[in-house]
Structure 1
Amino acid sequence: MAQDQAPFGDLPAVLVEAVLGQCEGVAEELLADFSKMRQDRETLRERLAQSGVVVSESALGYPPLPTTCGADGSYAIERLLTTDLVAAAAVAVEGLTPPSEKRHWERPHHRTFMAAEPHLDDTATVLRALMLGEELCLATAAPHDLVMLDGTLTLPVIYFNQALNKAPDTRDLLCSRDFIENCLDYLTAYRAILHGERSDRQYIALPKYSTRREIGLEAGWPPSYDDRGMLTLLLKPGELTLPRPLQPPEQDWHLNTDRLPGSVKERAGEVAAEIVEGLRRIHVFYYKPHDWLPALRVEVGQGVAVNTHRLATVVQGLKHQCATSSMLEPYPIYLADRMVKALAQALPAFRQVTTQRISEKYRGDIGEIYLALHGYRSDSGS
């Protein structure tokens, strides 16, 4: 029987009973929170409307529907007895196309990395940054009017910083060498997305979860009232909040490029400074395309936030790509996410193919191969 059909099959009965008993207490707490939200909703909605924060999508105008694509990435590590089998993939998928428009891409575009790496603690750190860099390069290479990224615009600076600190010390890793070799391309793509200087290219990020509370802090909401959750209840279909600067971090953004090779260090430092400047000018707004959708948190560069036509292009593109209630996010992001998450599930199959190829040519005891390549656990992320 499948695991999802028997979720408690491997758990002791007393443990299941104990957790089920605690569920009642959790349910009571959540019920109290939901009831309080329901009581406050009308008052909060009225305050929000009076503040001038909310506008209708019709106030922005109706530009032509943009062509769209979504980009996402994932990585996976199969921990074997003698080595680590690692893989990373980035995918870009074209969105729904109006019947009168010609498709730019007949099939998804992708970039992949796969290698056998020695056992090191920092493999995931570097591999994750490499994955994200390839995702950003795919996004900037897309010929579409609206390019959507799954996640927040601030995530790359965190992952890149971690990899820039770890990769020089882990040159035994193929992914570290690959990251160092291509990091200037990754940083250049990141800068292009943050600055968004081309008016025919709108780059946006759609994080599913964020701890920042730009609207809540401004409106004086209690800390327990999350921006996205509350605005899902308060916004009407077709409404959005006006873009406002991203809530700044406690410490200013930075990228440590000092440990890169001399051939790229100076140029990377210049690009990193421009990236930090772009991060300071990120804006965020919330948009509710339809009544069946939660409010979308949309992060954009300043060039999009202050230009009504470009902002309207983003809104129209999002509305058109949220075409069905079976997907709680825009179509190309949904599809790209489904594709890349399949990588972790497929990695054991890739290991089996690798094992078979080695076994065909190995002259010793074939049992040694199967023992050495026995998988103990898998790590993955996106």
Structure 2
Amino acid sequence: MDTFADLPDALVRDLLAQAMPVAQRVSSNLDELRSAKEQLCEEARRCGLIRRKADLDVPREPSVVGVDGSYQIHRLTSIDLCAAAAVAVEGTSKEAKRHWPEPYHEMWVDGLPHHIDTVGVLRGMMVSMELNLADNAPHDLVLLDGSFSSLIIYLNQALTKLDDCAANLGNKFRIRWEEGLLPQLKRLLRSDRTVAMPKFTARNELIQDNRLRPPVVVDGKTLATLILCPGEYTAPLPIHTNDEPASMQVDHLPERFCPRPEMEDLLAAIKSLRVIYFRPYGWLPALRVELPAPVSSSNTRLSMALEGIMRQFFSPAVIEPYPLFLADRMVKSLGSGVAVIEQAVAQHIAAESPNVEDTLLYLQNYRTEGGRGGV
């Protein structure tokens, strides 16, 4: 298929004309950053930011599982065909015990009346499934795709919109919440075996308190890729500080679902989170790894986490831990699965309808929306 087949010729010409100016600006930023590498590395070592994985105890091979989720909304004429799912995929291992040889999953699908707030609650359903799989995984190391904060933000949006979505969806999410979703969330935030690995973020804890002063605006992953050698990681740093407290992201979950003492406990757990940047190999950019306090404060647990992550990379073609890569591929395919359900529903309804042509008008798909858990 021609890449530009659906674009006007004039737009294509204007687009291509911008390639060189954009490349020059990006190149200029990278050159300026690279020119400061030696100074930044020296500053990082002087303030104790850079550490070596080799200095930690060598642990046994941990069992590893990756968890990711996604949601889909197919906007039909008369209904929204909605689905949410989460998948847990076990990592590769040579010595570690295999607990889940086959992927585990949770899913929910239904046809709902059109509501403006369906997305927020459906995304909360997806997060509830991710949390349940992560909480029940028996593995030594559980990798979450995305940040801890995004999980809480999505749950907050779902709880806030609960009364404004379709009854079937709202009731289902309310049941999941009442079955212990809040305790699950707090357990993961204080877990000694769960870490969160967002792919992209603008955050940069390395420049807090003027630890490092790069010459250009840069995120933490890019800066860590510059200063870290293979096998190095940064000292655990607070994700939330007095200048940027946890309450800036989640002021308060709705009080009827999360009483104030519970919320204060949740905020305390969020405040205790730490972040490191880890560069396992020279052919990988630095990874952002968010750690609960029991992991960041224990060299044994930290060593187990770094070892588990490092063992899940074996090719430059995959720049995230292998189980997260597989889980991501699987949940991306949810849209294809919902499309099949859409066709099956249309065929079944049309077969029983006295007026097939009129019925199919109510089932026309005019827009598909979707998203994933990872950020």
Q: TM-score range by the shorter chain?
A: over 0.9
CA distance in 2 between counterparts of 1:189 and 1:337 reads 22
Q: Kindly provide the CA deviation profile for residues 98-154 of structure 1, in whole angstroms up to 9, marking residues without a partner as x.
A: 1x3431112000000101111111000000011011101100100000000000011
CA distance in 1 between counterparts of 2:245 and 2:156 reads 17
Alignment of 1:12 onto 2:8: yes
Partner of 1:313: 304
Deviation at 1:220, TM superposition (A): 2.7
CA distance in 1 between counterparts of 2:53 and 2:331 reads 32
Deviation at 1:162, TM superposition (A): 1.2
Task: Name the aligned partner's letter for residue 241 of structure 1.
Answer: T
Alignment of 1:247 onto 2:223: no
Contact 1:118-1:173 at 8 Å conserved across structures: no
Deviation at 1:368, TM superposition (A): 2.1
CA distance in 1 between counterparts of 2:239 and 2:97 reads 36
Runs ≥4 residues deviating over 6 A:
none
CA distance in 2 between counterparts of 1:188 and 1:127 reads 20
RMSD: 1.6
Say which SS state the counterpart of residue 76 (structure 1) adopts: strand
Q: Kindly provide the CA deviation profile for residues 289-320 of structure 1, in whole angstroms up to 9, marking residues without a partner as x.
A: 01111101000111111111000000100111
Deviation at 1:355, TM superposition (A): 1.0
Partner of 2:321: 330
Alignment of 1:378 onto 2:373: no
Partner of 1:182: 176
CA distance in 2 between counterparts of 1:131 and 1:380 reads 11
Task: Name the aligned partner's letter for residue 189 of structure 1.
Answer: Q
Deviation at 1:222, TM superposition (A): 4.4
Alignment of 1:29 onto 2:22: no
Give the TM-score normalised by the residue count of structure 1. Answer: 0.92
Partner of 2:126: 131
CA distance in 2 between counterparts of 1:349 and 1:213 reads 42
Task: Name the aligned partner's letter for residue 183 of structure 1.
Answer: W
CA distance in 2 between counterparts of 1:167 and 1:284 reads 32
CA distance in 2 between counterparts of 1:303 and 1:355 reads 51
Contact 1:78-1:375 at 8 Å conserved across structures: yes
Task: Name the aligned partner's letter for residue 17 of structure 1.
Answer: R
Partner of 1:207: 198
Q: Structure 1 residue aligned with 2:229, among 227, 236, 250?
A: 236
Partner of 1:339: 330
Deviation at 1:51, TM superposition (A): 1.8
CA distance in 2 between counterparts of 1:340 and 1:36 reads 39
% identity of equivalent residues: 35
Say which SS state the counterpart of residue 154 (structure 1) adopts: helix
Partner of 2:109: 114
Contact 1:79-1:378 at 8 Å conserved across structures: yes
Q: Structure 2 residue aligned with 1:85, among 81, 87, 94?
A: 81
Contact 2:99-2:138 at 8 Å conserved across structures: yes
CA distance in 1 between counterparts of 2:30 and 2:213 reads 19
Unaligned 5+ segments in structure 1 are: none
Deviation at 1:178, TM superposition (A): 0.9
Partner of 1:103: 98
Task: Name the aligned partner's letter for residue 355 of structure 2.
Answer: D
CA distance in 2 between counterparts of 1:90 and 1:349 reads 18
Contact 2:68-2:327 at 8 Å conserved across structures: yes
